[in-house]
Structure 1
Amino acid sequence: MRLHRLEVTAFGPYREHQVVDFDQLGADGLFLLHGDTGAGKTTLLDAVAFALYGSVPGARGQVKRLRCDTADDGVPTKVVLELTVQGQRLRLERSPEYERPKKRGDGYTTEQAKASLSWIDGAPTEYPPEGLTRIDEVARTVQRLLGMTVEQFFQVVMLPQGEFAKFLRSDTSEREKLLERLFGTQRFGDVERWFVERRRERGRAVEAQSQQVRELIARVSQVSGAVHESDVDDQNWLEDIEKGAVRELEGAQAEQSRLRRERESAESALAERRQLADKVRRVRQANATLAEIGEKSAEHEAWRAERDAAHRAVPVLAAHRAVRRAEQEQEKAAAEVVAAAARCELDADTPVAELRSLAGAKREEAGALAHLVPEAQQQETDRRRATELAEQIARDEQREAKLLEQQAMLPARIATAREQVEEAKHAELRLEGVQSKGTEVAALLSAARDLPAAQQELTTATASAQRAVDVHQQARDLLQDLRARRLAGMAAELATRLAPGEPCPVCGSAEHPEPGKPIDDPVRAEDEEKAQHDEQQAHARREKAAVEAQRAQQKVDGLVERLGERTEPELAAELERLRAERASLRSAAEQLPQRTAGLAELEASTERLTEQLSQLRTGLAAARSEHTALLSTVEERESRLREARGDFPGIADRRTHLLDVAARLEQLVAARTTRDDAERRLAEHREALREAATGAGFDDPAAALAAERSEERITQLTEALAEVEERAAGARAALASAELAGVDGAAEVGLGEATEAATVAREAAERAAALAHRAEQRQRDLAELAERLRGAWAELGPALAEHAELEALADVVNGRGQNARKMSLRAYVLAARLEEVAVAATRRLQKMSGGRYSFVHSDAAGARGTRGGLGLDVLDDYSGKVRPAKTLSGGESFLASLSLALGLADVVAAETGGALLDTLFIDEGFGTLDADTLDLVMDTLDELRAGGRVVGLVSHVEEMRQRIGVRLRVRKSRDGSTLELQT
């Protein structure tokens, strides 16, 4: 994995858009990231992690406040990262979730998190060419390409502040948590838990089987009554119980057979005595019955006469009831005739033939109106339909007017919508130019505001330059004067040393025509040197002042040339106008989709309105035609119906009236006929009553009615007489039977002794049967329980062996039992990984410590029986002793922590089998090193960048800046942090 470019906007302390070019930074393989505390150095590493995984390491990721608090509301928070991984160059873009002010109204709204992945050099075949936009798909793709989780990335690529010093000094449990996250050994923990859970499940199953065996043994003991001793062989104990049950059953069955025979003999004797006693009782009972019947013979004859008279009166009673019914029918028919005549408003004695003729005439008249009833119904239907059509025509005419109005307004609305769409498109095109123009005017306004200060600076610099010229001129004049005077003084001095005939030391002449004369106030060499020094200083000040004045003049000229004729108020007004125009254009541009959709809707409305008008007009024409035809038909039909209904509301009403009159006349005819028939039948029934009474042997019908008895009484008399005859016949038959022949009714038969003997024998036999049944049931129960118990024993044995084996294996996997090292499977795997880390880290630690220190991995158990396998100490080569890591000094701890981090990074990268890690970041810790140790560390870092790897260091140490040529400085200000590349 190699990083190319990072862009952050409104992220952490970075208010404005910032860019980090890793290709330029990592050209030398090593670069430094430095700056003020809190400026945002670590935030750049967070931005890389966020772009890849959507989260940041450590406690910063728990806060979830990634947006810059001072960023403008309209600037979105965004991180863009370009990198190459597994030969694929891709671009990742992410935005976190954050709160922003609403564009309309007060309050805040949540800006949802976003993520996208695009392929720069072409997508792989298994991915869509347009890239990915779902957060979960981007996360899975990044993790697959890098081959490591987010926790592994934070520990392998970004070595965080203080994390590995903490790891170096941590105890076994804390070290185990980190290693488990990095190496993904959760599956071994799952194996441990699987064994424990499997052992628990098998333990529950074995316990259930054992409990079943215990319950079966207890049930056998309960059924057999034999106590189960723990030291007795279970199989022998069960066989003894089965044999005892068989012996008990055989004895009970023999005793049952003997007592059953005794009971049968006693019961036979008792039955004979009971038969004799029953015969004596029957003889006595028959004699008593015949004597009782003889005493009541007169009463019985009276019952028989009463019953016979009631039987003879039955036909007379039937004839009497017929007379009563005929009288009621005659009275009812006469009343019906009177009521029917009243309904017809006629005399009750009107001849029947006249009534029938009148009814026929009414029905004939009603029949003539029958064919007009459907026409009358159709007339009502047509009138309702005509009304509905009129209402529908009115509604359709109103709707037609509205649609015509909408159609007339539509072209203007479409033109307006097109102008708005063009305005939005034009605004979108002009927006970038207006923004650029606004930036330019803002820069000019800043220049206009800087111009007065620059002009004042020019005035001051010009005055200073003029004063420097004056001072320099004065110093130069003084120097020239002193030189002239010095030269003059030197000639006089030489003249004092001239001698006639001796050569002049200046010109070599032996003649001295005009020797110099001494002057007043001679100048010494020291005076000339001081004046020359002052003149040089003045000249330097003059040159410096001239440069400052020239620079100030150039600044003013540049500002004036840049501003031209524009003034600060004009620029401020123009900037305000551009900002307003930019807001207006942005608003219009944002409405482009909405306006385009509105225009499309309006254009589609034209066709819809035309189609609606066409359909409406077609329906309206049909409705009008139908309405005109209906009105003509209704008017033509109405003349015929008016004549037919007469004074009635309708044809059906008149026809119903005629049919009702005919029906009432026919009812009167039927009532007259019914009354005449009823009077004739009444006379016939009265004559039949007199004949029935005489034929039944009664003097008149009244005597026959007096002999009437209820059915209940007749039944009672018949049953009583039958019972008397039955009792007498039964008694005579019993006395005459062969069974009772020779039986003396006065004889006494004793049953007490025989009954008692039979009872004693029966109870003894029942007890024996119950004992035999219980013995049989006990034997069956014991046989069934024995079979179940032997089956449970057969299943429990293998289950116990399997559980013992599984329990021993689970103990070994979880660091107990026969596990001599007391190391669980997960701890054993982690210990192997830690041993690899110690070997890899030792190579670097020996080099950085000058061969003094090495890591020593220990798998010994900890204090008080704690699990071992993750011990990590340091071997001091100076003393040859193994020291705890906590005894190292601050600088030594940093060396050990850095070595451990680098070794862990190598092992994790090899373990994951993911992408080649070409970029590595190390955050802080160099301030604890002396110069020599720092040299060793830098040599190690040089090895890291060999082969094309890029190493980024985050440090405050000044010496690191001097050692590393490529640096990225983070500057902190109130307006947000900025980045500056230094070389």
Structure 2
Amino acid sequence: MRPIRLELENFTIFRGRHSVDFSGLRFFIIQGRTGAGKTSLIDAMCYALFGKVPRHGDRRDLHEHLISKGTDHMRVFLEFSVRDRRYAIERAVRRGRGEVRFWEGNKLKNVRANELPELVKKVLGVDYDTFTKVILLPQGQFDRFLKPERPQQRREILNKLLGVDTLIEKMAELIRETKRQIENRLESITASLRELSFATKEELERVNKEIVLLEKDLNLLEEEKKKLQERLNVASHRDRLQGELAECQRQLAELLEKAEKMEQLERDLQVMEELSSYAPYVESFKSLSQREEQEIKEIKNLKEKLAKLSHQREQFQIQLEKYRQEWERLGEYDVQIEQLTKDLERLKNALEKHRERNQKLEELERVEEEIKTLEEDIKNLTERIDRGERYIKELREKIEDLEEKQKRLLELNPIKIKLDEVRRERESLELLKKEKEGLEEQLEKIREDIKEKESSLIRFHVEHIRAHLKEGDLCPVCGNVIAQLPPTEPSENFETIKRELDKLKALESEHLEKKARIESKLFALEEKEKELRQLLNEWEEEERFEEEYRELQRSQAELEEGRRKLKQAEEKLENLKKELSAKRERLSTLEGKREKLQTSIKEIEEHLAIEGFWEVKEQDIREKQVQLKTLKDRRDMIRNNYTTISEQLRIVELEEKRVQTALSERERNIQSLKEEKERVAKNLEPAIKKFGLGTVQELEKLIKPKEYIERLKQELEDYKRNVALLEEKEQRLKEELKNFEGVEPTQEIKAKMQQLEEEYKNKSVQLGHLREQKTRIEEGLKKREELLKDQEELQRKEGIYRILERDFRADRLQEFLSQIMLQKIIARANFYLQKFTAGAYEYDLEGSDILVIDRLSGHKRSVSTLSGGETFLASLSLAFGVSDIISKNAPIESLFIDEGFGSLDRETREELSQFFEMIKLNANRMVGIISHLEDLAEKFDQRIEVVRRGDRSFVNVIV
């Protein structure tokens, strides 16, 4: 990854908008004082790519720490290339909501925020953790790695750079957890085996024998059940026939009880069939009678309606005659209404003009009052603005004095921070010294215990040799023949001695490491004290520095208060000027409005004088309106009533004619119906006389529908057929039952069957229990075999993990991994060292010591003999090597080294120009050196200057 352009807006100390162009940079320095924000540029790149910053971790309130103070939004844009292919990422936070966009080339890709980390990992070839390790390397650690102060320091630095300690700890934890799981599983298997103690082959054989016996008994019972079932089937058939006979006899008795009723029904059917031939004449007579009655009702209704219409016609004629004279006078009403409408319109116009004049007079009065008030306000505002300008001038002069003091405070801040840090650490100095003394005492005691255990180990070996010697053998120590063996002395167990000795050595190593860490802390504290004394050289004493610092801090509060007052005064003055401008504009508007009102009032008064309506009362208008409304209502009433009555009279006369016509037609219909009824009655006279009836209506009651007669016939036939069938069935069932005279009662057979089934059921339940027991034993035996196999395998694994756990507690694995990684790093660093020194130098490893092969002299020498500039090149090549190893050859085309010259004195730094040229020519990537040393900036043709002014920083790129 090679950065091309970085844009920042309100990111940490970079408040406002800033842009850094990396496109023309190759080997450059990022220079600025401590706290200016140099490393924040690297943080911004990490944030753009991964949405995280190394120094803040994965905290949820990350944006609160990244957004510049006093702002509510933030934006970071990074354009970069990977293998000459361009990409860009933009992250923005506005009102608490995050937004992200990703470009590939010039094309905006549709990528969700949660998909971006995986996409960036794919593009860069490394994940977040690896990227943060290889993009920014701590050069000071490589100096100490090259020239460690103590033997363990090189391994500590290497493990920290590569994350070996973290890896080892995670692996050890994984091993412990796996071992714990195996132990828990073994305990579970042991408990399960105890629970399966019932599952034995002997128990399985006993259950199988019982199952065979029960199966034989069940087979015998099954045979007996079949025989009983056959007998029960015969008895059930006999019972069924007896039930059918009883039911047949009952149904037959019921039918014979209806015999007389059926005979009467047969006689009635003969009469019904004879009368059915007269049914059409009866139906016709009935229909004619109904039509005659309907026509009589209609004639009555029409006569009543005709009388009502005649009465309505006479009433409408009287009303029409009443309005006829008024109808002829409608023209006179129209002339009067037109004249009144014109008079009323002239009165309304005159009244409206009077009202308009009065409104404009009132408005003119209000305008003149407002003009007077505005003139007074303008005068007061002018005076206040003059006073405000004088006050602001005085405040600005005071603030300039206070800002000078703040510049001085900013210069002293780094010293103050350093002083506070040293004071805090002074408290722990004595504690560290006491802890160191305690460790030295403990180390002395541990070393004595180790000597004692080593002596015990020697004695054990002696006794072991003694056990294999006999009289006459040669002594393995002096070579003489053994005449008599010395007495055997009891000795401790070898494994116990070895285990205790290993524990003591591990404890010794642990104490040595603690002591080394304490010595490192003490050395660091002493270095900070020296640095602080150099910084405080101007004041001679810390108290004098503190006094000046406190005084400058007090001026800071005064400056803030002065700025606040200045801001308020400027805002207030600006508001007063805006108010003055607005009032002047309003005054000009009102003066124009006053002139327009005066002109309009004059024109209205002239119009009223011409029209002759100088005085108009609303009462006159209301009287005219009432008079006009009365005339209009009277005219409209006459016109509507005359027209409505005329139309109603016409409708009534038409309806009267229609009803008279309908009445004549109905009377003719009644005469025709009477003649038809007389003809039908003559056809029915023979039947009425034969059956002794008086009227057609009596004959109608005797005649039944054909369907009814047919239904009664079918009922009679069904009765006769059912009686015959039941008598035949009764005889047949009696004959069949003679075959079952010797069969035993059904209940006795059922009782025997129930007893047999209960016995069968009990034995089946016993058999089911035994089969379940057999299955449980078989499954238990199978599970027991599986558990024993698992137990054996887990015991084997437990032994392996016990060995691994012991090995991971020791330092041997860490040393082994560190040595492998050291060999790889040295091999890769040699590639860069040879390029940077034109083949003059090469690294070589002897054990864990790093040597330098001087190709010019052909000798090996220690790295401590390298000059300052040579040391810088050596440590830089190591940094490049570590970067390549960690990134696994991913396309990391840029590298930033933090405080890369901190180990060099001023004289050495003066001679670095020639080395810079070698790096520019041979480095295969962009290299940025981050440093606070001002004297280095001039030695770089390309540099990024980070300057802090107050609470914000600015960036300037020089190519």
Same fold judged by TM-score > 0.5?
A: no
TM-score range, shorter chain: 0.3 to 0.5
Q: Larger % of helix: which?
A: 2
What is the TM-score of this pair, normalised by structure 1? 0.36
